[in-house]
Amino acid sequence: MGSLRVSIGSVRLDRPGMVASGIMDETGASMIRMLRSGAGAVVSKSVGSVPKPGHPNPNFTETVGGCVNAMGLPNPGIDAFGEEMRTAVSEGPIVGSVFGASPEEFAMLADRMEDYGACAVELNLSCPHAQGYGMELGTDPKVVAGIVSAVSDAVSVPVWVKLTPNTHILTQIASAAESAGADAIVAINTLKAMVIVPEFAKPLMSNKTCGLSGRCIKPVGVRAVWDLHKAVSIPIVGVGGIEDHRDALEYIMAGASAFQVGTGVLTRGPEVFADINAGLESFMEEHGYPDIRSMVGVAND
């Protein structure tokens, strides 16, 4: 039976699937539950310098083939989140996700996540519904390079950069991140979206603009990973619409060394990881692949 072990640079995981940021990762207990359910690692919710309430309701709804949300990066702040991180890292690998408004803020937050025991830091440069953070920073290659460089200088753990699909220069941004010292690219974040209520002739979300996630965005994510695999030499973590092992295989064969599951945890429950792991093992046995690594990018050659 093929091995599920993967490496994302120096980060080694026993299983290739991770919980994406923002899903079942608000407390140490919930992160431990995900690890015990079969996830290889958990990416924490995105945490900033100070507590942030996020956008008021309504800020989440289902749509055809997925979900839309405009949470606005609610979080307790980096000081309060330390206890949750220390609890979770006692169980297994936790990637600390952070967001900020400047290279200095990102560097400070990443340093704190390293202090809390994070095996890597993920820079959230791609939230489509958090003004002053996310996409405003993550669609400019020079800005991205400056942030990555500052963080790389501040920490010794690997630096992952989560990028937006809401740009026509995705590969340029990824190349800038790689040149500045990024150890991996995470792709993709949610697609910029909107829901309108015809009876009220108004957008549903309090923030109006939201992010689309779920199975409907998988072809966009797979295409992004395919393009990135040709553009960068650092590992890629695929995310967007994965709910079963075949979804995961599309990302892996496009060029992803590992993957993250977000909305799939909501629709399928925590057992989605055990199901994906079993499906990957059966596929590798049936088709003669010795491990995950042997499948990375095979459709992209």
* Cis check: omega of the bond before 188, within 30 degrees of 0: yes
Contacts of 205 (CB under 8 A, 6+ apart): 55, 58, 59, 61, 68, 70, 129, 194, 195
Q: Which residue has 């093929």 as its token pair?
A: 2
What does each C-alpha distance from 78 to 75, 90, 110, 224 come to in angstroms? 8, 18, 10, 31
Catalytic residue, chosen from 67, 119, 127, 210, is 127
Kindly report the CA angle at 118 between 112 and 124, in degrees rounded to 5?
75
Beta-bridge partner residues of 159 = 121
Active site residue 127: yes
Contacts of 118 (CB under 8 A, 6+ apart): 44, 85, 89, 94, 95, 96, 157
**Interatomic CA distance for residues 180 and 138, integer angstroms:** 14
Catalytic residues: 127
